[in-house]
Amino acid sequence: MEKEAFSSALFSLFDRQRFEGNNHLAALIRETESRYGDHALSDDALLFVSAAGEATSRRKSAQPEDDGL
Amino acid sequence: MITAEGREAIYLECEPKVRRYIAARVANPQDAEDLTSEVFLKVYRQLDCFDESRAAVSTWVYAITRNAVIDYYRTRRIQSEVPETLAAGGDMEEAIFRADTLEALAVALEALDERRRDIIILRYYRGLTLREIARRMNLSYAYIKTLQNSALAELKRRLS
């Protein structure tokens, strides 16, 4: 499997976790979040959250080189 | 033909999952509520087409929920594009919908050292970029990238 396809699959698996809530995986996620706290919301995501906590339609700037595998 | 009791059982099993998933994806509470209702309208409308020999009900409802959220982003133009953590899929669709894949992922992640596991979870669950992860972990971007590549290779080996 190519790196990009595997990367894409991981995003999908973690997305499914948000629905299914596998206990084992949830425990590992909690451990990571306990180390990095609730500030683990991405800077990119914060761009779309208004003071009232609602998403806005602000366009994000692309950084295609940022997460190359 | 699924009975009224069957419909109620599906609702009781899946409603909390649908609600939690949508709440994590849709910031506006009213939109989240509307979307949850839309999902169950679709579920009930398509219920007679559901083939339980091919997938568990929960898996089928997940697929409907995920598509509903993607449609929400696309049609209401909340952002310029569907979030990276939601848009993926591709060739792994079948494996993603297998019931045991999440447990296999957990086992593979647990085998990684703590630092590499944290990077994978922050990147693929939280949706942080590598630069954001580098800042939060107080490590260089280049090192985070190296650790991520190593973690991905190890996970791929264990999950293949």
Q: What is the pLDDT of residue B133?
A: 95
Q: What is the pLDDT of residue B59?
A: 87
Q: How far apart are CA A50 and CA A57, in angstroms?
A: 10
Mean pLDDT in runs of 10 for chain A (69 residues)?
82 91 94 78 47 43 49
User: Of chain A residues 15-44, which have a CB less than 8 A from chain B?
Assistant: 15-22, 24-25, 28-29, 32, 35-36, 39-44
Above pLDDT 90, what percent of chain B?
59
Q: How far apart are CA B17 and CA B45, in angstroms?
A: 19
Q: What is the pLDDT of residue B76?
A: 76
For CA atoms B19, B21, B24, B28, give the dihedral sign: negative
Q: What is the pLDDT of residue B56?
A: 83
Of B98 and B33, more confident = B33
Report yes or no: B62 and A20 within 8 Å, Cβ to Cβ: yes
Three-state DSSP class for residue A49: strand
The pTM for the full model equals 0.76
Residue A6's nearest CA partner among B141, B90, B119, B101 is B90
Q: What is the mean pLDDT of residues B139-158?
A: 96
Report yes or no: B59 and B67 within 8 Å, Cβ to Cβ: no
Q: What is the pLDDT of residue A49?
A: 45
Does A9 sit within 8 Å of B102, measured CB to CB?
no
Query: What token pair was written down for B140?
Result: 């260089």
Q: What is the pLDDT of residue A57?
A: 41
How close A61 comes to chain B (CA, Å)?
A: 10
Query: What token pair was written down for B50?
Result: 């559901």
Q: What is the pLDDT of residue A46?
A: 46
Of B160 and B108, more confident = B108
Query: What token pair was written down for B121?
Result: 């979870």
How close B102 comes to chain A (CA, Å)?
A: 7
Q: What is the pLDDT of residue B52?
A: 77
Residues 6 or more apart in contact with residue B108 via CB below 8 angstroms = B154, B155, B158, B159
Report yes or no: B22 and A15 within 8 Å, Cβ to Cβ: no
Q: What is the pLDDT of residue B35?
A: 94
Q: Does residue B107 carry a pLDDT above 60?
A: yes
Q: What is the largest CA-CA distance in chain B?
A: 58
Task: Give the angle subtended at the CA of B70 by the CAs of B65 and B74, to the nearest 5°.
Answer: 145
Tens-digit pLDDT profile for residues B42-99: 999 998 888 877 778 888 899 999 999 989 988 876 555 666 666 655 555 555 556 6
Q: What is the pLDDT of residue A22?
A: 92
Q: What is the pLDDT of residue A52?
A: 44
Residue A11's nearest CA partner among B125, B96, B150 is B125
Q: What is the mean pLDDT of residues B111-137?
A: 96
A61 in contact with B at a CB cutoff of 8 Å? no
Residue A16's nearest CA partner among B21, B74, B135, B77 is B21
Report yes or no: A19 and B102 within 8 Å, Cβ to Cβ: no
Q: Does residue B148 carry a pLDDT above 80?
A: yes
Does A60 sit within 8 Å of B102, measured CB to CB?
no
